[in-house]
Amino acid sequence: MEMITRLCNQSSLPPLTKDQIAEGNMSTTMSLAQRENQSLSTKIENAIPVLMNNVCDVKWSANFKHPIKDSKKNLYLLPNGKFF
């Protein structure tokens, strides 16, 4: 886990859409300084879709639904109605 965290911190990926990741299009309007100044948690969140696209099975990825972030609680809502 520490290795993944260090990689996320050093890569400082911008927020990318699923289509950008599938096409290999990593273009963004964020400067390198803005990307480096993101919080570690944001860097990890931005890296997860890229990891999923490159590591997970295509069938599983196609059926996976990303959790939706609740704007009031600033937490993700799971299909079972619980937040994380």
Bridge partners (DSSP) listed for residue 75:
70
**Where do the domains of the chain lie?**
2-77
Contact assessment for residue 46 and residue 14, using Cβ atoms and an 8 Å cutoff:
yes
Structure token digits, residue 15? 């927020």
pLDDT digits (tens, 9 = 90+) for 4-41: 999 999 999 898 887 777 787 877 888 989 999 999 99
Give residue-wise pLDDT tens across range 34-82.
Answer: 999 999 999 998 898 888 888 888 888 778 777 778 888 888 888 788 8
- Residue 60, Ramachandran bin (φ over 0: left; ψ between -120 and 50: alpha; else beta): alpha
